[in-house]
């Protein structure tokens, strides 16, 4: 079963969209978004959070 790796690249502006859409995975810390989990088993709200990011710094990669 595939797993997914999450990453937030440099450039986060701390708008809070990702946390609003997916609070189980994203949290704002020191004015920037950070991840509660870097590896997840199933994509739920994370994809929508990535799509809502105005600076497109959220990356979701499938791992094995």
pLDDT of the residue at 2: 86
pLDDT of the residue at 1: 79
Range of the domain at 18: 3-63
Does pTM top 0.85 for this prediction?
A: yes
Q: What is the pLDDT of residues 4-47, one digit of tens each?
A: 999 999 999 999 999 999 999 999 999 999 999 999 999 999 99
**Average of pLDDT values for 35-60?**
97
In the chain, the DSSP E strands lie at 3-8, 26-29, 32-35, 39-40, 58-63
Number of domains in the chain: 1
Query: Could you tell me the CATH number of the domain that includes residue 56?
Result: 3.30.70.20
């Amino acid at each position: 079963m595939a797993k997914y790796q999450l990453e937030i690249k440099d450039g986060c502006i701390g708008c809070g969209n990702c946390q609003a859409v997916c609070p189980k995975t994203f949290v704002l810390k020191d004015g920037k978004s950070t991840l509660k989990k870097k590896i997840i088993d199933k994509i739920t709200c994370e994809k929508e959070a990535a799509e809502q990011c105005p600076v497109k710094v959220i990356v979701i990669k499938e791992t094995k």
